[in-house]
Chain A
Amino acid sequence: MPAIRVRNLSKSFKRPIRSPGMRGALQDLLHRRYEEKKAVDDLSFDIPQGEIVGYLGPNGAGKSTSIKMLVGILVPTAGDVTINGLVPYKNRAATAKGIGVVFGQRSQLWWDIPVSETFQLMKYMYKIPDNRYKRNIELFADVLGIQEFMHVAVRQLSLGQRMRADLCAALLHNPSIVFLDEPTIGLDVVVKKKIREFLLEVNAEYQTTILLTTHDMQDVEKLCSRIILINNGTKAFDGPLERMKTEFGAGETLSVQVEGAVESWDGLRLLGIGDYRYDPESSTLTVRYDKRESNPALLLSWIMGRTSVVDFTVKPPEVEDIIRAMYTNPERPVLQEVL
């Protein structure tokens, strides 16, 4: 039985239409009209126990809405969903025992009391046995370093500390599935690394299923074995990370800092490159190309034939670029990014 089972899941919202002007306001008062907005449309997938899935998609694509249906916050308009065999919105309490949730923007912790007391309350709420509780706290201290701020009130924590505390609170009761909505947003590199390590360790030790929403490609790289991409409420991609990268992650960016100015870079067009820009102030040429059609060595040698190169970097594509690439042309991604 899969940990998460979704079949034809849909959610529509009725939004009142606001008519403009004074006359419109009066009309609305007498006769309210609604428009139906489909946030999630016919979504289906299975996630087996122990998998770490990247749940990606642009903002407003329906990710949050679908996750809220998975955890029991929203009732679907159509379709089925089971979490560990239970229907979440029908069995909220039972489902909650087996899942952990972290909303990036909002904390689940009690604002005014120290972190340690929140954990104690969670211990009682979820009936966590003493030894398991102790072991988890030790693990959290070990990998995430939370002992530094255990005694601090939540409202006084920094963002990074709060995120770590939220994560611990969500995992304290050893849920079999964890839903993470942008857990690393706004955090510095060190904390992000710690969190990723932590998630991998938890997954290894307890086979915890993790559904992770993120815009950070590093998160995806380091953690996810599978990617589900949501756009316009529907599933646009569902498969291993490697497949996504090979199929859609072909865009690279080459940044070259040059010594002298060149009259015109238009010669690049002859190489089949249309996407380039030169910034005279920093003397940097930025070139975007498809990895399958060009390669940086070729470009560099062309550039070196015209001027001296001081320095260069090659940047892999951002997940944003990959996603955008998937929408402009799912078959053959053409990078239409304007620098």
Chain B
Amino acid sequence: MHTVKLYGHFLIVYMRSQLEYRFSFFGDVFVNMLTFVSLYLGFWVLFQTFPSMDGWGFWEVLFLNNLNLMTYATCSMFLWGPMIQLENMVRSGEFDNFLVRPYPPLLILVFRQFGHTFIGHLIVSSCVLALCTYQLSIQWTVGNALFLLFCLIGGILIQGAIMIATASSAFWVVRSKAVLEMSIYTVRSFINYPISIYVQSIQLLLTFLIPYAIVNYYPASLFFGKGEQSALFYFFPVISVAVGALLFILACRVFSRGVARYDSSGS
């Protein structure tokens, strides 16, 4: 509880210092929203000509992307900044500062900053969710709402786990930022489309090795009743959260292992 309040203090301080540069702040948020315009408009153009993407329609594909976006943005608000900077901090020795505080280093890293630019992403994804609801006539029954909520939580945990685990490579290899960026940009781009379009080996990789597919493809498939339905609809959200939680804990362990072999070789 005290930790939560502490984060509150940190957030207030951070936001105050960011809002000094008001123009840049809103510029950041706005510019980040452009990513979706180009991506979603691209989908729209494609669907003007092509009737289906492996059985998925335009709004379903949008919904799919939205799950990815929502979970990525939420997780990134807290983790993107610190994880991207980790390589630099480890190499310069600046990471030392995070080891002499009365809290775990990962926590201090997260507390010190906030990805305000991702607020724009969340605004966009909320709007898209509303649009999809309308266009696809989605009924938000308690069951559906809970399904979505749990899948989002699981998705956020998985995105976070992947971010932390790949960033932790900073304690082992020099070019860890590249490893991180390949994961969160390159590999994650696979799930912009329903993974059924890929060969099986890629689908397996995205389900069991770097489980991005659990973030959006499986939830969306089940939600729209693609393929087999049945009891999986009720179990899946729980699986998602369980897998997410497990992976997140594992990722934090990897991070701790990394800290134990930290050399502090920068001066």
Are A and B genuine complex partners?
yes
Question: A residues within 8 Å of B by Cβ?
Answer: 13, 64, 68, 71-75, 89, 92-94, 96-97, 99, 101, 103, 105-106, 108, 110, 112-113, 117, 120-121, 124-127
**Is the CB–CB distance between A126 and B264 below 8 Å?**
no
In the complex, A124→B101 CA distance in Å?
Answer: 12
**Is the CB–CB distance between A13 and B101 below 8 Å?**
no
Select from chain A the residue with minimum beta-carbon distance to B97: A108
Chain A residues with Cβ below 8 Å from B10 are 121
Pick the contact of B260 from A71, A75, A96, A124 — CB < 8 Å? A75
Kindly name the residue among A120, A124, A125 whose own CB sees the greatest number of chain B CB atoms within 10 A: A125
Chain B's interface size range is 20 to 34
In the complex, A126→B9 CA distance in Å?
Answer: 13
**Is the CB–CB distance between A73 and B264 below 8 Å?**
yes
A71 touching B6 in the complex, CB below 8 Å, given contacts A106-B93, A112-B17: no
Q: List 7 A-B contacts (CB under 8 A).
A: A68-B96, A73-B96, A73-B264, A75-B261, A108-B100, A112-B17, A121-B9
**Is the CB–CB distance between B263 and A117 below 8 Å?**
no
Q: What 1/0 mask marks residues of chain B from 78 to 105 whose CB sits below 8 Å from any chain A CB?
A: 0000000000000001101101111111
A113 touching B96 in the complex, CB below 8 Å, given contacts A105-B267, A124-B6, A125-B6: no
Q: Does B2 contact A (CB under 8 A)?
A: yes
**Is the CB–CB distance between A113 and B17 below 8 Å?**
yes
A125 touching B264 in the complex, CB below 8 Å, given contacts A103-B96, A106-B93: no
Chain A residues with Cβ below 8 Å from B263 are 13, 74
Q: Does B40 contact A (CB under 8 A)?
A: no
A-B contact count (CB 8 A): 64
List residues 38-88 of chain B with CB under 8 A from any CB of chain A. none
Q: Does B265 contact A (CB under 8 A)?
A: yes
B12 CB, min distance to chain A CBs, angstroms:
9
Which 9 pairs from chain A and chain B are nearest by CB? A96-B102, A112-B17, A97-B102, A73-B99, A93-B102, A101-B100, A124-B9, A73-B96, A124-B6
Chain B residues with Cβ below 8 Å from A127 are 2
**Is the CB–CB distance between B13 and A92 below 8 Å?**
no
Chain A residues with Cβ below 8 Å from B5 are 124
In the complex, A75→B259 CA distance in Å?
Answer: 9
Q: Does B112 contact A (CB under 8 A)?
A: yes
Chain A residues with Cβ below 8 Å from B104 are 92-93
In the complex, A101→B101 CA distance in Å?
Answer: 10
**A71-B100, A96-B101, A96-B102 given; 7 more Cβ-contact pairs under 8 Å:** A75-B261, A93-B103, A103-B96, A105-B267, A113-B16, A125-B102, A127-B2
**Is the CB–CB distance between B112 and A110 below 8 Å?**
yes
Select from chain B the residue with minimum beta-carbon distance to A108: B97
B6 CB, min distance to chain A CBs, angstroms:
5
**Is the CB–CB distance between B100 and A73 below 8 Å?**
yes
Q: Does B193 contact A (CB under 8 A)?
A: no
Chain B residues with Cβ below 8 Å from A96 are 100-102
A52 CB, min distance to chain B CBs, angstroms:
20
Pick the contact of B13 from A71, A73, A94, A121 — CB < 8 Å? A121
Chain A residues with Cβ below 8 Å from B100 are 71-73, 92, 96, 99, 101, 108
Q: What 1/0 mask marks residues of chain B from 1 to 21 whose CB sits below 8 Å from any chain A CB?
A: 010011001100100110000
List residues 122-146 of chain B with CB under 8 A from any CB of chain A. none
Kindly name the residue among A73, A96, A105, A121 whose own CB sees the greatest number of chain B CB atoms within 10 A: A73
Chain A residues with Cβ below 8 Å from B9 are 120-121, 124
Q: Does B262 contact A (CB under 8 A)?
A: yes
Pick the contact of A13 from B16, B17, B102, B265 — CB < 8 Å? B265
In the complex, A110→B101 CA distance in Å?
Answer: 14
**Is the CB–CB distance between A106 and B96 below 8 Å?**
yes
In the complex, A64→B264 CA distance in Å?
Answer: 10
In the complex, A44→B112 CA distance in Å?
Answer: 37
**Is the CB–CB distance between B262 and A74 below 8 Å?**
yes
**Is the CB–CB distance between A126 and B17 below 8 Å?**
no
Chain B residues with Cβ below 8 Å from A125 are 6, 101-103
A68 touching B264 in the complex, CB below 8 Å, given contacts A121-B10, A124-B6: yes
A228 CB, min distance to chain B CBs, angstroms:
21
**Is the CB–CB distance between A113 and B13 below 8 Å?**
yes
Chain A residues with Cβ below 8 Å from B97 are 106, 108
**Is the CB–CB distance between A106 and B99 below 8 Å?**
no
A256 CB, min distance to chain B CBs, angstroms:
41
In the complex, A110→B14 CA distance in Å?
Answer: 10
B39 CB, min distance to chain A CBs, angstroms:
33
B28 CB, min distance to chain A CBs, angstroms:
15
Pick the contact of B262 from A73, A93, A94, A126 — CB < 8 Å? A73
A124 CB, min distance to chain B CBs, angstroms:
5
**Is the CB–CB distance between A117 and B267 below 8 Å?**
no
A208 CB, min distance to chain B CBs, angstroms:
16
B18 CB, min distance to chain A CBs, angstroms:
9
A234 CB, min distance to chain B CBs, angstroms:
20
In the complex, A108→B101 CA distance in Å?
Answer: 10
Select from chain A the residue with minimum beta-carbon distance to B10: A121
